[in-house]
Amino acid sequence: MDVAVVGGSVAGLQAALTLGRARRRVVLFDDGQARNRAASHVHNFLGAEDLSPSELLAVGRRQVSAYGVDVRDSRVDDVDVDGDEFVVGGERVRAVVLATGLWDELPDVPGVADGWGRSVVACPHCHGWEVRDQPLVQLGMRGSPERSVARALLLSRWSDDVTLCTDGDELMALQVDQLARAGVAVRTEHVKEVRTGSVLLGGAELAARRVFVVVRQHQQSDLAERLGCQVADGAVVTDEGGRTTMPGIYAVGTTTSPALLAIGAAGHASTVAVAVHGDLLELELSGGR
């Protein structure tokens, strides 16, 4: 095999597709834990607006398989380094593409986890259009008032009826002024429960067509770190071609850039796959394996 892709969400599948079309021998490993698997639809993704995440990934699997990519339903927890090659899931390869992605730490509020991906979402760019001009609540993450304010200000572009619930965090005067100028109401009480269609505070229930939350993002796998790749601020450090600090190891999508939307992760993966193919070709032409 030429390349092992670890992770089979949009970034991993796109990397495998680009490499497969370049006639590279590719094996892709996926444990089925795509970050957006709870969502009902993939929004803001050109050509895939009506698909659910599972449907989009199923289409992607069929496409990569048509180019000879070997797709395996298994998790990769270890990669063995053998000289200038790697052993991944029993396969010897010359390059590894890490597309392991992120997981989201949700606010510790009753009802948030139950509604995640449906009545509770994170990204206005992904889910704001569907609830435009309706009552919306931005729920903050305790201890991160700056991020909560920034998200509420962003959300105000989709609706004139936005309430920021800080869940006990107090705001500075400048933040309160910014929110007021954007037309965002503020409630600082602790949030008792998030329900479908509302948010329950200590003494009031706010209508909410959708609840947007601030999340903390974490890498799904520590594989890059254990392989010796540099990690900074929760992301794998790469150059513009996705090359990590370890030769032969590449990273794509949110593994290296957590802020990417799904379509951005796919685009980045395609660019990195081109670099992988070019690096392998250069090695081959120089007499390497």
DSSP for 87-140, please give it.
EETTEEESEEEE---EEEEPPS-TTHHHHBTTTEES-HHHHSGGGTTS-EEEEP
Assess whether 62 and 122 both reside in one domain: no
Q: Where are the beta strands (DSSP E) in the chain?
A: 3-6, 26-29, 70-72, 79-82, 85-88, 91-93, 95-98, 102-105, 120-121, 136-139, 162-165, 184-187, 191-195, 198-201, 205-207, 210-213, 216-219, 231-232, 235-236, 249-251
Assess whether 162 and 245 both reside in one domain: no
Q: Name the burial class of residue 94, with classes exposed (0-12), middle (13-18) and buried (19+) by CB atoms within 10 angstroms of its CB.
A: buried
Assess whether 113 and 182 both reside in one domain: yes
Assess whether 189 and 153 both reside in one domain: yes
Assess whether 10 and 72 both reside in one domain: yes
For residue 203, the model assigns a pLDDT of 78
Total structural domains in the chain?
A: 2
Assess whether 92 and 232 both reside in one domain: yes
Assess whether 132 and 199 both reside in one domain: yes
In the chain, what percentage of residues exceed pLDDT 70?
99
With cut-offs at 50, 70 and 90, classify the pLDDT of residue 103: very high
Flag whether pLDDT at 219 surpasses 80: yes
- Is-contact 17 110, C-beta < 8 A? no
> Average pLDDT of 234-262?
96
Q: To the nearest whole number, what is the mean pLDDT of the chain?
A: 94
Assess whether 93 and 221 both reside in one domain: yes
Q: Which of 213, 243, 265 is the last residue of a domain?
A: 213
> Average pLDDT of 183-191?
96
Q: Which of 192, 213, 234 is the last residue of a domain?
A: 213
Grouping H, G, I as helix, E, B as strand and the rest as coil, residue 208 is coil
Assess whether 81 and 147 both reside in one domain: no
Assess whether 178 and 270 both reside in one domain: no
φ/ψ of 199, rounded to 5, equals: -125, 125
Assess whether 80 and 223 both reside in one domain: yes
Domain span holding position 258: 3-103+217-285
Assess whether 133 and 99 both reside in one domain: no
Model pTM score: 0.92
Q: Which of 213, 245, 267 is the last residue of a domain?
A: 213
Residue 248 φ/ψ region, left for φ over 0, alpha for ψ in the -120 to 50 degree band, beta for the rest: left
With cut-offs at 50, 70 and 90, classify the pLDDT of residue 237: very high
> Average pLDDT of 257-273?
96
CATH number of the domain where residue 78 is located: 3.50.50.60
- Terminal CA-CA length for the chain: 11
